Amino acid sequence: MSGMSLETMQRRMLAAVMQPLTPEDTMRERNEAGERMADVAAEFVAPNDRLTAFERLEIYNRQYWFRLLGALGEDFPALRRVLGSRRFDALAVAYLKEHPSRSFTLRNLGRELVGWMRKHPEYLGRRKRLALDVARVEWACVEAFDNGELAPLTAEEIGDLHGGSRLGLQAHLQLLELDFPADDVVLELHQRERKGASEGGARPEMGEMKPEALDVERRRTWLAVHRADGSLYYRRITKEEYQTLTALGRGLGLGEALGAGFRRSRIGPAERPAALQEWFAHWAGLSWLTKPEIEERA
């Protein structure tokens, strides 16, 4: 290591630490460049009378993967059950190889997973769309759990609204259009997960697990995942609600968003005002509507 700068050493060591393990959870003999890991380790790690440089580096290599796989597994326990532990681990390793943590917090580790899964259906087993929906619901839960809470609209602000007004959406509100009723699946699997968790520390059992048998039929589902008083809730919404809310979230004016909400709708024109009144009352009651962010910044 003599002559190697601190930065070069750290870059070299981190690459070694982040290298995927063998199927037996040991450090690989060679890295992707074909170098012997024993030689790489010896560049900067000193052996002692009990452990070689390779073995010492291997401790950190294993810690890295155990920690990150554990963190990802905690965020996607239902996905792990849908895929089974082996397939989930393979997916997680491939994902983390492509998307290592770019954040100081493990909270964001799964941020790119859904997008990555869309590009890599080969990791999703036979129930690809279900796996994707389950992952989307679980990531929505992560976001809804600790995203910020914006102040809801006040009566005074509502009084000033007109057709061109823009509204913002609550920061913890997550809107999903799903191919399956994946909220049911996630609820069921989280309950099974909870039963399997150790009593000591709400830590899910991360042992080997076969894919769960699930009897779920495909059905287009629109879902809002949100938070009230610190707890997470799912609320099934209609396609029109979903379309209206996402239109508002995209920054469309209120009038335009209402129009977009009823695109390809089966709800007849005569019924729409009543439906809208009910939806907006619910959304306001749940503090889902806020001032738009742009106006706040200005």
Partner 1 sequence: MAGNRFNANQDHGVGVGLRIPHYDHIFREKPAVDWFEIISENYMVDGGRPLAMLDRIMEQYRVVQHGVSMYFGSAQAADLEHLRKLKRLVKRTGTPWLSDHLCWGSVDGTYSHDLLPLPYTWEAVEKTAARIREVQDFLEIPVAVENVSSYAAYTQSEMTEWEFLNEVVERADCGILLDVNNIYVSSVNHDFDPMEYVNAVPAERVAQMHIAGHSKYEKYILDTHDHPVIDPVWALYARAVDRCGPTPTLLEWDDRIPSFDEVWAEARKAERYLVAAQEVGAR
Partner 2 sequence: MKKQLNALMLSAALAGLAVGTHVAQAQPVTQDSAKVTTAKGAGVRYAGYSMDKEKHACKGQNSCKGNGGCKSGDNGCAGKNSCKGKGGCATDGSKPPKAA
Identity (one letter) of the amino acid at 102? R
CA dihedral 124, 128, 132, 133 (to 10 degrees): -150
Q: Which does 289 bind (CB under 5 to 8 A by kind): partner 2, partner 1, none?
A: partner 2
- Please tell me whether residue 249 adopts helix, strand or coil conformation: helix
Give the separation between CA 115 and CA 139, rounded to whole angstroms: 11
33 touches partner 1 (CB under 8 A): no
Q: How many residues bind partner 1 (CB under 8 A)?
A: 54
Give the separation between CA 39 and CA 52, rounded to whole angstroms: 11
- The least CB distance from residue 6 to partner 1, in Å, is 5
Q: Which does 89 bind (CB under 5 to 8 A by kind): partner 1, partner 2, none?
A: partner 2
- Cβ contact 39:27 at 8 Å: no
101 touches partner 1 (CB under 8 A): yes
- Cβ contact 229:237 at 8 Å: no
Give the separation between CA 180 and CA 168, rounded to whole angstroms: 28
Stretch that binds partner 2, among 30-38, 53-61, 111-119, 122-130 (CB under 8 A): 53-61
DSSP-assigned beta bridge partners for residue 227: 232
107 touches partner 1 (CB under 8 A): yes
7 touches partner 1 (CB under 8 A): yes
DSSP-assigned beta bridge partners for residue 30: 36
233 touches partner 2 (CB under 8 A): yes
Segment 157 to 196, residues that bind partner 2, using CB under 8 A: 158, 161-163, 183, 186-187, 190-191, 193-194
- Residue 112, C-beta contacts closer than 8 angstroms, at least 6 positions apart: 95, 99
Segment 255 to 274, residues that bind partner 2, using CB under 8 A: 255, 258-259, 269, 272-274
Stretch that binds partner 1, among 38-46, 80-88, 209-217, 254-262 (CB under 8 A): 38-46
289 touches partner 1 (CB under 8 A): no
Which is closer to partner 1, CB of 168 or CB of 181? Answer: 168
Could you tell me which of 237, 231, 233, 220 has the C-alpha nearest to residue 280? Answer: 237
- The least CB distance from residue 95 to partner 2, in Å, is 16
Structure tokens at 164: 């061109």
Q: For 189-204, b where at least 16 C-beta lie within 10 A, e where not — what string? A: bbeebeeeeeeeeeeb
- The least CB distance from residue 48 to partner 1, in Å, is 7
- Please tell me whether residue 215 adopts helix, strand or coil conformation: coil
Which is closer to partner 2, CB of 70 or CB of 251? Answer: 70
DSSP-assigned beta bridge partners for residue 177: 222
Residues that bind partner 1 (CB under 8 A): 1-2, 4-7, 9-11, 13-14, 17-18, 42-46, 48-51, 53, 55-57, 59-60, 63-64, 67-68, 71, 100-107, 145-149, 171-172, 200-202, 227, 230-231
